[in-house]
A and B are shown apart, each in its own frame.
Chain A
Amino acid sequence: MARYSILSLARHALTGHRHWPRAWRDPDPKPRYQVIIIGGGGHGLATAYYLAKEHGITDVAVLEKGWIGGGNTGRNTTIIRSNYLLDANARLYEFSLKLWEGLSRDLNYNVMVSQRGMVNLAHSDTQMEAFARRGNAMRLNGIDAELLNREQVREMIPLLDFSAEARFPVYGALLQRRGGTARHDAVAWGFARGADQRGVDIIQNCEVTGIRVEGGHVRGVETTRGAIAADKIGIAVAGNSSHVAALAGLRLPIESHVLQAFVSEPLKPFLHTVVTFGAGHFYVSQSDKGELVMGGDIDMYNSYAQRGNMPMVEHTLSGGLALFPSFSRLRMMRLWGGVMDMSMDGSHIISKTPIEGLYLNGGWCYGGFKATPGSGWVFAYTIAQDRPHQLNEPFTLDRFARGVVFDEKGAGPTPNAH
């Protein structure tokens, strides 16, 4: 497989870009693999990539019911950051952010990482104190964090409502300069190409309809393209985690909820950071094409529909208008919904399961995209070694029964409140 470079670009330009080879193969499934990954999103593809690259395990198939990256990998707001309070979360997300920083070079694929800064706005003294605490916790974990006052925020984001009439006056913000965005589709494509180059079979339009378990040990899967045997199986299916785990007889501490996001018409550049508005739950960044990419709360009721309803659209955008009154005449171009695997403590699960050889990567709530490389890396380790890496050791499936949960927000076992 050819490497992408300035020379290959120039060479193909001479022939009008008509002869680029396909970036990955389209193989038929073999009857047996050493490892099967269910789910061809960013996490599943990254897992396959790191299984091959870090552990030399190349007899791997990634099974995807639709097309790769067609689920939540293509349905998010592309934000990357590691501004977490709890040590276990901060360490995993920071590990992931460090992988992001070298990912384009590692994959020989431009995933367009843009460390434009992540701004969490504060609207009260109490919120400023909470952010000071979170910033200090981040710094103790070696993560960059700065507390900004109102004037520093105004300098960075002058279009925010700084008037006397602002419904939520800006007091300041917590800034992580290394946070930012990445190109979501490219993440799936880059990992797919990298995994394929190392021998991984990426099999699309192949839905898993059953998981064979014998004597407490996983044996393989039934799919719409026939039965496939495997020694080890990893589940990385985001919003469908409960559905797929149920095929193996497992019940999970997860509910699926729909989260909507929106893209506006393109504007001239005016917003060079990611801005989040926790008081009203709205967040926005400006894409390289000039469009505003926006999101807010989940729709609050269980859903697998990949589409939401209008009340939450209005709720989210009214939050946006409270922040940026100048958005009032902006037209939306697209909206979409993704199915979030909302866990009972708001943190993820990267774990062995009670079934030997079956591993689970899920419960990402709406934090999955930024974790993609780190999640794949530690999940590959867990599958290859049959034990968790120290970064994901706390995030077991049995932590709920043991009472060792990671509730970043302190919301308790109510999935739609995280």
Chain B
Amino acid sequence: MLLIDCPWCGARDQVEFTYAGDATVRRPDPDAGETGFAEYVYLRDNPRGPHRELWQHTGGCRRFLVVERNTLTHEISGTAPPREGPQ
């Protein structure tokens, strides 16, 4: 069971949250070309270890948050509002 610390609501059970994927993906510049956009849409680092990811507190405040979680151990080392976490 994951215990996720929502920056606005406090620590809650994972069932209140919906996973929203890799938080490090950034939309490229409009002139990035087909390759840049294809990489943005399809390619992921998919690390075996620390992973910055977006979750949405769908069963609570409905805000998005960034969770830093280890994909090998499931250990959560921190949460933050999307704009305040390490970018």
Contact = CB atoms under 8 A, between A and B. Distances in A.
Interface of A: 240, 242-243, 246, 251-256, 300-305, 309-311, 344, 400-401, 413-414, 416
A153 B46 CA distance: 42
B59 to A, nearest CB: 12
A302 B51 contact: yes
A211 B71 CA distance: 23
A304 B48 contact: yes
Contacts of B44: 242, 251-255
Nearest to A256: B46
A401 B53 contact: no
B15 interface: yes
Nearest to A300: B19
A300 B18 CA distance: 8
Contacts of B18: 300
B9 interface: no
B26 to A, nearest CB: 14
Interface in B1-60: 1-2, 13-15, 18-19, 21-22, 34-35, 38-39, 41-48, 51, 53
A239 to B, nearest CB: 9
Residues of B contacting A: mostly: mixed
B53 to A, nearest CB: 7
A309 B14 contact: yes
B1 A310 contact: yes
Contact of A242 (B14, B38, B45): B45
B73 interface: yes
B84 to A, nearest CB: 21
A379 to B, nearest CB: 21
B62 interface: no
Contact of B46 (A301, A302, A311): A302
Contacts of A303: 71, 74
A309 B13 CA distance: 12
B71 A302 contact: yes
B21 A305 contact: no
A243 B43 CA distance: 13
Contacts of B21: 255, 414, 416
Contact of A305 (B13, B14, B42, B73): B73
B74 A311 contact: no
